[in-house]
Structure 1
């Protein structure tokens, strides 16, 4: 092993080459070029093969990262893919969009002093190679089971559960209100981070494996939850959270103030070739406009970088804390800065100004960081007399997401939710108060990462499998 691994002492960290800023500002293509095989093997060989791999410990999926890095360094890519896909339903997606700087790479043992192993880029390389060489197969069941499972939501949690359950032989039906499977992976995340063909090919593979998709099907409008419970032996709720948090304040109703998700969905649909009236009219198009994005998370970074590509006159990100306290990926912040986004730190919006019914500026106040609160995070305190107005023609609110009112939406008042509006479950079984109805992903934990949604989906599949086997046991005994 020594001659292949632990090469961090002589090899520097290197990410795949980025396309030039001038080039990538003009289109929505992914910004990183493909890893050359030799470069990927070299970067994988930098792994120190820790006895206690903190990269794996801090991965929500507990991916066996040291093993697939070693296999990549040795050129055994098919085996590397088998190891990576054993714990991760979508390694090609996580390799692209996971905030590795906060998870695996941020906890790499060699990070202090030698810089971390480029785990995400190698994961992407392994999975993309697997697709190119035909190693990725559709989920196949060893034996078909009569029991069926209905899954509400075709996002990462729902799809991860669907793949696991189908592999065990269940009849799996996925319901989604949109016209494509993928959830926010299709409509929320821009192409420059995740090209849509990457998601579509998984969706098609799942269809080939016998997973049945019911798209343009809204629960509560086209079918109710009680009806789904009649159709299926178990139901898994994996809707995610889509309700945008609002800022309110004076002028909040002016035209030109839009939720982040509406803006991103319009852009992604346009890139997919759909007709989007709000985009064509300019209401959800940043071209030629002064854009201000409110918020500091990954969604805010998606918005500012999308606005740059749409040809905005200027793009400003306004965040009430400083750069060190920003919740978004620092890698994404760096990419945005390279592409010309201006960051306005320690500035909190208070309201909006307008002319002729349209927004013309964001009224804000300067902030400073005070004493830590009960969570240990520094409080933000307004500075008296520091108010100012930042001119804009389009204000995008990227302040986070809350759950929709699922009991009312689904036509099932008995579905219990928490005081935050998330679905209440028994965390040991992932089952709601309704027998046979399970829930997971953002609709239970609140807005979070794709990788956590995948973890929840896979865990839910285990719990559902155990539940269905338990339900089937008395019938089997009676038949004997």
Structure 2
């Protein structure tokens, strides 16, 4: 019976959830995709070919059991589908919304490669988990036994929260420290609501609170509490701070007012969605309304900025990227969404200088792709005489993120880092140069995907439990 419900990719075409009209959605910060109806989710799940070697599974960083929960969805067994999804993914409702499925699971779907159009894995994952929340299937964690050991987690982003979830499942006591006033890290303050509505993140945070996780917010390690104090208070420590230091511009005039960091701009916008009073928005510093906005960069953060500026009522929004469309690092799906909403992309273009303070314009240098660099990627090079002026009242730098100097900030000289400034941690165990201190996510990998941070957090939790077990055994002897 189950097989008869599957393998329908030949007779049933691929359908994504309906997208809200751009003329409507670019005036609010609500998610742009509508929910799958039950019948449509069942129909689309039935398109899965149930591969013997599922590439969607192997290309997912979490190795989610995708064919299994697609089959269960096609059979209407949604609670079981959720249980399987949750078993490998701490936050499936979040990954279903923000993972670049076109580069991971869906991009490697066998029926996509055979010309039938991919299974809409992300939309179905979102549907399964949203249904689970609505039906009350998602419960606080209740470990079978409680342990006395405590773990301090520095950073309440996806890596830290994933580890907290897994540690609580085995009864370990967990305290999470974070510099912001709300947990979630970039999930809360970096990613706009039109991709990830904030109540989706907050319901997970509440679940962890109800599960016994203690959150210490507005806490800057190295200032409000020392790293040594956290180490002394807990039996193990996990560093999951992410990377927040923005790569800056070096061109003449780049220090002018009105040239801002993407993280600052997005954080202010997301704080508004919580109803916070944000002076930087009210006084216009980080508000795009009525302005000519230029975003510099080609990743997903740049897409978030251009789409946010449109919703704030910018006069014009342009995105400058030094390579062409085919070579940009961001999701093509996000580029399409931005174009539908009115953003203009200027490919093969880079800033040469800025005029005015506050900024009034920038000189743009036209580029071309030259010989490949060491990675095999074509290097952009300037076209002689290819300069022109572009008006700009607000310039947003979305050039990527670098790690902060944690050993210096935390007075932790024994915390080893790589030549890139990331924390040096074991690939297998995530343990750092300091015994009992582990590290995960972007602070180890460099700026990466949420799904990789979740995987790291889950793996590190296992390593921490083994470390605690070893320490307990030594103490007993």
TM-score range, shorter chain: over 0.9
Give the stretch that moved more between structures: 412-421 or 70-79: 412-421
Query: What are the equivalent positions in structure 2 for 1:261-272 lying under 5 Å apart?
Result: 261-272=263-274
2:220 maps to which residue? 218
Runs of at least 5 residues in structure 2 that lack an aligned partner in the other structure? none
Cα deviation for residue 429 of structure 1 reads 2.2
Query: What are the equivalent positions in structure 2 for 1:375-386 lying under 5 Å apart?
Result: 375-386=375-386
Note if contact 2:429-2:459 (Cα within 8 Å) is conserved in structure 1. no
Q: Take 1:284 and 1:169, find their aligned partners in 2: how far apart are those partners?
A: 43
Query: Secondary structure of 1:358's partner?
Result: coil
Find out whether 1:430 has 2:430 as its counterpart.
yes
Query: What are the equivalent positions in structure 2 for 1:53-72 lying under 5 Å apart?
Result: 53-72=54-73
2:407 maps to which residue? 407
2:87 maps to which residue? 86
Query: What are the equivalent positions in structure 2 for 1:171-250 lying under 5 Å apart?
Result: 171-250=173-252
Query: Secondary structure of 1:72's partner?
Result: helix
1:166 maps to which residue? 168
Q: Take 1:380 and 1:224, find their aligned partners in 2: how far apart are those partners?
A: 44
2:104 maps to which residue? 103
2:473 maps to which residue? 473
Q: Take 1:362 and 1:269, find their aligned partners in 2: how far apart are those partners?
A: 29
Runs of at least 5 residues in structure 1 that lack an aligned partner in the other structure? none
Note if contact 2:309-2:317 (Cα within 8 Å) is conserved in structure 1. yes
Q: Take 1:384 and 1:6, find their aligned partners in 2: how far apart are those partners?
A: 56
Query: Secondary structure of 2:83's partner?
Result: helix
Query: What are the equivalent positions in structure 2 for 1:10-409 lying under 5 Å apart?
Result: 10-112=11-113, 113-354=115-356, 357-409=357-409
Q: Take 2:424 and 2:3, find their aligned partners in 1: how far apart are those partners?
A: 50
2:439 maps to which residue? 439
Q: Take 2:211 and 2:271, find their aligned partners in 1: how far apart are those partners?
A: 27
Cα deviation for residue 281 of structure 1 reads 0.4
Q: TM-score if structure 2 supplies the norm length?
A: 0.98
Note if contact 2:292-2:393 (Cα within 8 Å) is conserved in structure 1. yes
Cα deviation for residue 426 of structure 1 reads 2.2
Q: Take 1:91 and 1:428, find their aligned partners in 2: how far apart are those partners?
A: 24
Q: TM-score if structure 1 supplies the norm length?
A: 0.98
Query: Secondary structure of 2:139's partner?
Result: coil
Q: Take 1:241 and 1:164, find their aligned partners in 2: how far apart are those partners?
A: 23
Cα deviation for residue 234 of structure 1 reads 0.2
Alignment length, in residue pairs? 475
Give the stretch that moved more between structures: 126-135 or 214-223: 214-223
Cα deviation for residue 419 of structure 1 reads 1.1
Query: Secondary structure of 1:384's partner?
Result: strand
Give the stretch that moved more between structures: 150-159 or 16-25: 16-25
2:448 maps to which residue? 448
Q: Take 2:412 and 2:277, find their aligned partners in 1: how far apart are those partners?
A: 34
Query: Secondary structure of 2:420's partner?
Result: coil
Q: Take 1:362 and 1:271, find their aligned partners in 2: how far apart are those partners?
A: 31
